[in-house]
Every structure is written in C-alpha cells, then in structure tokens.
Amino acid sequence: MALNKTVMGAINFIAMVVSIPIIGAGIWLATQQDNACVQILQWPLIIFGVVVLLVAVAGFIGAFLRINWLLIAYLVAMLILIVLLGCLVGFIYMVTIRGSGHLEPNRSYLEYHLEDFSGFLRHRVQSSFKWDLIRSCLSSSSMCAELNQSFRLAQDFFTAPISPLQSGCCKPPTLCGYTFVNPTYWIMPINNAADMDCLKWNNDQTQLCYGCDSCKAGLLESLKNQWRKADIILLLSLIALVSVYLIAACVFRNAKTQKLFDKYKQGQPPQPYI
C-alpha cells in the first residue's frame, strides 16, 4: 500500500507537470499579435490546462491521504479530460489542414486566397462586425511600418520573406499590377479591376489592404501555422496524459484487489488440524 501511495503520488505529480505545456501553449498564442486580435483558441487552452492541473492536484491529495472517493473522482475526471483533449487535437488538425500560399512571378513571398481555408476559419473573419474589430486591432500594430524601415528598393522588397500578415495586409495583390514606391505606397495602374482587392487598396497608412480578402487570408495563414505548433504540444501532452492515466488506473485497481485479498485472508476460517 505504501508503494501504491508513492506511485500514485508520482503519477499525479507528472500529470501536474503535463498541464504546464497546455497552459503555456495558450499563453504563447495570446502573445502572438494575430491570435491576440482574433482570440479563438488561447483562452480555452489556458482554462483547459488549469482544469487538468486542478484534477491532478486532487489525485495527488487523494493518493497521499488515501481518500478512495477522491481517487475515483480523479480517474473519472481525467478520463473525460483526455477524451476532450483528443477531440481538440483532432479538431485543430482538421481546421488547419487546408490553406497554403501561392507563388507569384518574380516574388519570394507568398500570397494567400481566402477560399483556400477551412469553413470554420473563414467564418471567423467573414462577418463584417467581427472583421471590423480584428481590422482595428491589426491596423494599430507596427507590422506594416516595419516594412518601410526595412526595405527601400523594390527588388529588396520583392525578394524578402515577409510574413503572411504583411503580404496580405500591407501591400496590394501582385496581380493588380500596382507600381512600387515603397512597401506601403503604390501607384495605381490604369486598369485595376483584376480583383476586388485591387479596388480596396488605399495608400492611406491606416487603410492599406486591411479591408481586403488577402488580408483575411494572410491572418488565417498565420493562425493556421501557430495553431499547428500548439497542436503538436497538445498531442504530446495527450500521449503523456494517456500514459499517466493507464498507469494510475492499473495501480488503483491493484490496490483495490490487494485490499480485498487482505480482507479475505483476515476473515478466512482456520484450517483444521491434521
């Protein structure tokens, strides 16, 4: 029993440690500019990680104080959390499996199309009310101004590995045929009706292409890349939690079996003398 108590305590301590990467993934997403403007995944991850931590603490206490009902509650709650985490890992994978950049002639950076992404992600930016809030958040950042400080010549800009957000929000789409003056100021061509985004471009530094579908697509590409990184952390945490849970369940079952066996031995009638 003392061994089972120690093993259960160690197992639940590991579960507490596993909750830290989950919370950390949520905090990391919250510090990313694009995720901070959209706020979809970060808070659910932080809350989920805190719940895992609390359940693991409950199991730790139950193991050391030998509170059977608390250990049973821990096993049930942890099983539910493992199932939820597995669903979350699968959901993130499914909504980020679509979407990729497109190469343009004589450009090193990629450009993005809104229709390439999953319906769930597109829905988050297609509402005019939601996008107005996101647009205000993005336009208050310095990501486009940084391009003007970094690139003076057109060739330097065209061969630069700029981010998806900068590609979609800070410049007009390449197919529009605008003439480069600086990264955020372009001369309009005679015919700029190649795409609706061509008409939405504005040299006003507070407008630029923040109203363009290309900006929405660039945002979704950034979200997709960051969510995939978070999903890897969640998958590793899931594997660790499943391993911890299986060991904890085996130890708990063996302890109960040993307890029943001890009771049986204590109540066993004496053997007749031969």
The tens digit of pLDDT for each residue in 167-218 reads 999 999 998 889 999 999 999 887 666 688 998 999 999 999 999 999 999 9
16 & 49 share domain: yes
Predicted local distance difference test score (pLDDT) of residue 203: 94
Q: Is the pLDDT of residue 99 over 50?
A: yes
Alpha-carbon gap, residue 108 to 10, rounded angstroms = 51
Which tokens is 168 given? 């979609």
Round to whole Å and give the CA distance between 202 and 178. 11
Number of domains in the chain: 2
pLDDT at 154: 92
On whether residue 271 sits in a domain, the answer given is no
Q: In terms of domains, do 151 and 216 share one?
A: yes
Name the percent of the chain lying above pLDDT 90. Answer: 59
Q: Does 274 reside within a domain?
A: no
What predicted TM-score, i.e. pTM, was given to this entire model? 0.85
Assess whether 88 and 192 both reside in one domain. Answer: no
Asked whether residue 60 falls in the same domain as residue 154, the answer is: no
Confidence of residue 265 (pLDDT cuts 50, 70, 90): low
Is 84 domain-assigned? yes
Q: Is residue 56 part of a domain?
A: yes
- Give the range with max mean pLDDT: 100-104, 149-153, 213-217: 213-217
End-to-end CA distance of the chain: 35
5 — pLDDT class (breaks 50, 70, 90): low
What type of residue is 104? E
Residues 80 and 157 in one domain: no
Q: Are residues 110 and 181 in the same domain?
A: yes
On whether both 82 and 159 belong to a single domain, the answer is no
Give pLDDT, residue 247.
86
| Contact between 48 and 84 (Cβ < 8 Å) | yes
161 and 60 in a single domain? The answer is no
User: Of 184, 200, 220, which marks where a domain is finished?
Assistant: 220
The pLDDT score that the predictor gives to residue 271 is 47
Question: How confident is the model over 15-38, as a mean pLDDT?
Answer: 91
Check whether residue 60 and residue 136 sit in a common domain: no
Are 167 and 248 contained in the same domain?
no
- On whether both 113 and 192 belong to a single domain, the answer is yes
CA distances to 42, 81, 90 from 87, rounded to whole Å, are 16, 10, 5
Q: Which of 202, 220, 238 is the last residue of a domain?
A: 220
Residues 19 and 34 in one domain: yes
**pLDDT tier for residue 67 given thresholds of 50, 70 and 90:** confident
In a domain, 272, yes or no: no
Residue 255: the pLDDT is 57
pLDDT of amino acid 8: 75
**Percentage above 70 pLDDT, the chain:** 88
pLDDT for res 273? 37
Note down the domain range covering 94: 1-98+224-266
Domain for residue 273, yes or no? no
